[in-house]
Amino acid sequence: MVETTVPRERTARDKLRAAQKDLFPIQGIDYLELYVGNALQAAHYYRALWGYDITAYQGPETGHRDHVSYVLEQGRIRLVLTAPLQATGAIAEHVTRHGDGVKDIALRVPNVDHAYQVALSRGARGVMEPQESSDDQGTVKRAAIATYGDTIHSLIERDYHGPFLPGYRKREIKGHGVGLRVVDHIVGNVELGRMDEWVAFYANVMGFEQLVHFSDEQIATEYSALMSKVVQDGTGKIKFPINEPAQGKKKKSQIDEYLDYYNGPGAQHIAVATGDILDTVARLEANGVDFLHTPHTYYQDLPERIGQIKEDLEKLEAHSILADRDDDGYLLQIFSRPVEDRPTLFYELIERHGCRGFGEGNFKALFEAIEREQAERGNL
């Protein structure tokens, strides 16, 4: 019998994760709700270009006079697009201030009452106390706590077999799926000096651990820089990178531009995983989705930097797909241009082959691509 030794560092991390899972167990991301100016048109955009199915609806026809919501699904991703029907109210004020953007990163939990009380006892600010809604298809319990800016985390406990939540009507409008599978991570932008505060929030309130820290030396160009820390839950499946701008550079960073146009902190981009990024990107481009361009020089030294991968490098270059490697494997990724009129929310597509990182080797290329976009807008 051969005896194997587990590294002490890995054993300690496993124990920490086990403790975190017991502290604030999270079963996954239940949905992402975006407040938008026109939910009907936004739903059409996500269906026609991104391939989502429209699966549920709420509005005046279902007894809700002040807003409409469309639910869209693809793989294990669920988006809720909500628009105001009145000129005043919380939804209208959010859209006026921020433009279209992420309001709610909803987390599914096994016990809402427990999760909410633990969160409040550890310093979270409550937004909605636990409440229960039911119909003939089951029951959903919900509560909500605040996070950075006007963003919230709803806490969702489900014993429900309906299309989404009680009060929603089933819709069946199929999209042509493009291979999107699951949310990989969600990146938040916060003000200068607030990153550590929100890292501590996730650690203290939800028991998240800090996975990695990127300094302003790692994410920088000649003109601007940012700093980032990544936190993840006890399962290692839910990851929230948190960015803040860095000082001392010549121009505004992408974080500064985001904070200016979004009028405060918020979700900068949503990373979604796919099993075949070349096919997914080709489909999205054919549908009209715009992605950031990567120059030929990036690909000249790519084989030396990342080693052998199964994909054809010429095909990656043809679609401006980036590649990176860590000790566990490699990943492929690409970033869309902003999907709103304001240069705020955008999407990342990612295909992982064992790699657990976030494309550190691509930070410079990505940052330079974003700066080219900023320069075209006159905001660099």
Whether residue 16 is predicted with pLDDT greater than 70 in this model: the reply is no
Please report which confidence band the pLDDT of residue 361 belongs to, taking 50, 70 and 90 as the band edges. confident
Torsion of CA 203, 208, 212, 213, to 10 degrees: -20
- Distance in angstroms (rounded) separating the CA atoms of residues 172 and 180: 19
Q: Are residues 117 and 197 in the same domain?
A: no
Q: Which of 173, 195, 221 is the last residue of a domain?
A: 173
What mean pLDDT is reported for the chain? 90
Token output for 345: 């929310």
Using the 3D structure, point to which of 173, 201, 228 is the last residue of a domain: 173
Q: Using alpha carbons, select from 81, 83, 154, 170 the residue that is nearest to residue 116.
A: 154
CATH classification at residue 312: 3.10.180.10
Residue 347: domain span: 180-377
Q: pLDDT tens digits, residue range 78-110?
A: 999 999 999 999 999 999 999 999 999 999 999
pLDDT band for position 2 (cuts 50, 70, 90): very low
HSE-CB of 185 using CA atoms within 13 angstroms: 22
At 223, the amino acid letter reads: Y
Q: What is the pLDDT of residue 31?
A: 98
pLDDT of residue 289: 98
Among 12-26, 35-49, 60-74, 275-289, where is mean pLDDT lowest? Answer: 12-26
User: What global pTM score does this model have?
Assistant: 0.91
- Among the three residues 173, 191, 216, which one is the final residue of a domain in this structure? 173
Enter the tokens of residue 93.
């004020």
pLDDT range class, residue 6, cuts 50, 70, 90: very low
Query: Is the Cβ–Cβ distance between 77 and 274 less than 8 Å?
Result: no
Same domain, 99 and 203: no
For residues 203 and 323, state if they share a domain. yes
Q: Is residue 30 part of a domain?
A: yes
CA distance 105 to 107: 7
**Cα–Cα distance for residue pair 154/158, rounded to 1 Å:** 12
Is 233 found in the same domain as 113? no
Residues 230 and 147 in one domain: no
- Chain-centroid distance of CA 168 in Å reads 24
pLDDT category of residue 5 using cuts at 50, 70 and 90: very low
